Amino acid sequence: MTSSAIPRRLLAAALLASALAACSSTPVDRFYTLSGGPATVVPALATAAPLYFEMRPVTLPGQLRRPQMVVSGGDGRIDLEEHHRWAGPLAEEIGNSLSFGIAAQLGAVDVYRSAAPKGSTLYRIGADVQRFESAPGSYALVDAVWSVRRLDDGEIQTCRSVFQEPVGPGHDALVAGHRAALAKLSATIAAAVRGQAAGAAPACPAA
């Protein structure tokens, strides 16, 4: 082995070590979802016909329609968490969470992407999320105007609900807080559907 081969090997080893160190220091992208996980499904309501609903696409403010998590930085500042992203468009993540939650609460079926059987009772549900705030180590907040319309009689119930959950530090805690807030929103909307199905006059829940 020549003496010049040794420096070349040392140089190659040094370059490899440098490349590995650079790779190990590159932040890893992490993706989060607002739906999924175990759910307790209650029996279907005792109505004359099966209960079905349409969860319409959720609307969001423009600054939230991006893949990165948007967190509150204080004094009106927001920060984009480039390496902490939603698994899908945030509006779809919220819509899926509400759909799963309402279906589980009512023992009902979301037929937005399909069709309800003939003669079934159908409710149309909409949600306009006006605030979806993430304050690390402080709170997760969901502020939504939502509506429930029973399609066979055309009566519409429109209400506003705000749910704020305390959270610990870290992105996992923020996501858990938002999931808890959306679970409460799902339960609130499901209660409105349950009331209409029972023949009660539409009434918004007390703030």
* CATH number (domain holding residue 192): 3.40.50.10610
Residue 51 has pLDDT above 80, yes or no: yes
Range of the domain at 137: 30-197
Residue 144 has pLDDT above 80, yes or no: yes
Summarize the confidence of residues 45-70 as an average pLDDT: 86
Q: Is residue 39 situated within a structural domain?
A: yes
Please enumerate in sequence order all residues whose Cβ is within 8 A of that of 6, keeping only pairs 6 or more positions apart, or say none: none
Residue 190 has pLDDT above 60, yes or no: yes
Sign of CA pseudo-dihedral 187, 190, 194, 196:
positive
Q: Is residue 16 situated within a structural domain?
A: no
Q: Is residue 24 situated within a structural domain?
A: no
Residue 4 has pLDDT above 80, yes or no: no
Q: Is residue 14 situated within a structural domain?
A: no
Stronger pLDDT, 100 or 74, i.e. the higher one? 100
Q: What is the largest CA-CA distance in the chain?
A: 93
Q: Is residue 14 within a helix (H) or strand (E), and if so which, with residue range?
A: helix 5-25
Q: Is residue 12 situated within a structural domain?
A: no
Q: Say if CB 146 and CB 189 are below 8 A apart.
A: yes
Q: Is residue 186 situated within a structural domain?
A: yes
Quickly tell me which residue has 């007390």 as its tokens.
206
d(CA 105, CA 185): 11
d(CA 97, CA 140): 15
Q: Is residue 151 situated within a structural domain?
A: yes
What was the pLDDT predicted at 3? 47
Q: Is residue 63 situated within a structural domain?
A: yes
CA 131 to chain centre: 13
pTM value is 0.83
Task: Report the number of distinct structural domains present in the chain.
Answer: 1
Q: Is residue 182 within a helix (H) or strand (E), and if so which, with residue range?
A: helix 171-197
20, 60, 133 from 90: Cα distances, Å:
34, 8, 12
